[in-house]
Amino acid sequence: MDFHNEVRVGQHIYGVTAKGEPASEDQPATVAVEFTGADADGRVVAEGNLLITIDGLVDANAFLAQTLDGLAALHAPWATGRGRSRPRPPNAGRPWTEADGERLRERWLSSVGETASRLIGELGEEFGRTRGAVRAQLPRLGCDPDVPGRVLAAA
């Protein structure tokens, strides 16, 4: 049994190659697993080899998943598990209230001279929204999302 798979996760490409080895007189059947990961520039971010008996695959899978989840949580406290790199902000997906819209407009228009990117990040945290949600809401309020303090020109 030979197996190879490669997948992109975020900015990294991970690959796994597995090769089955039949049992011998003194050894049980095993799977040799090679794991690699690299960033967009080809720098290695993960690599390793495992030799697992066929009988131990299910338990090894559970152990490795639990261990890697724990390490990710320890070293990246915002990690919430597989498939999601960060928790959703508390108001993500909810409609904007009129009061929040007014407050967002006031904050944006009173922030002349600030950089749009930094301010959008701050407002996202303040309103419990994603950066994309803040940026999308600004034109609806008549604000230029690229220049803090500037209103959109009339069409």
Span 4-18, average pLDDT: 85
Query: Coil, strand or helix: which one is 14?
Result: strand
Q: Tell me: the pLDDT tens digits for 14-43? A: 888 889 899 999 989 999 889 888 888 888
Q: For residue 71, is it within any domain?
A: no
Q: Are residues 37 and 100 in the same domain?
A: no
The count of structural domains within the chain is 2
**Exposure string for 33-60, b = 16+ CB within 10 A, e = fewer:** beebbbeeeeeeeeeeeeebeeeeeeee
Establish if 106 belongs to a structural domain. yes
* More confidently predicted of 53 and 83: 53
- The reply to whether 132 falls in a domain is yes
Show the tokens assigned to 26.
């003194």
With a threshold of 0.85, does the pTM exceed it? no
Structure confidence at residue 155 as a pLDDT band (50, 70, 90): low
Q: Give the number of other Cβ atoms within 10 Å of residue 19's Cβ.
A: 13
Q: Which long-range contacts (CB under 8 A, 24 or more apart) does 116-120 make?
A: 116/145, 116/146, 116/147, 116/148, 119/148, 120/145
The CA distances from residue 23 to 18, 27, 52, 54, in Å, are 16, 6, 12, 10
Q: Do 139 and 92 share a structural domain?
A: yes
Whether residue 29 lies inside any domain: the answer is yes
In a domain, 76, yes or no: no
Helices (H), 16-144: 57-75, 98-109, 116-127, 131-140
Question: Which residues span the domain enclosing 6?
Answer: 2-55
Provide the pLDDT confidence category of residue 45 given band limits of 50, 70 and 90.
Answer: confident
- For residue 150, is it within any domain? yes
The last residue of one of the domains, among 10, 35, 55, is 55
Structure tokens at 147: 């220049």
- Do 141 and 101 form a contact (C-beta atoms < 8 A)? yes
Quickly state the pLDDT bin for 86 (edges 50, 70, 90).
low
Residue 92 lies in a domain: yes
75 in a domain, yes or no? no
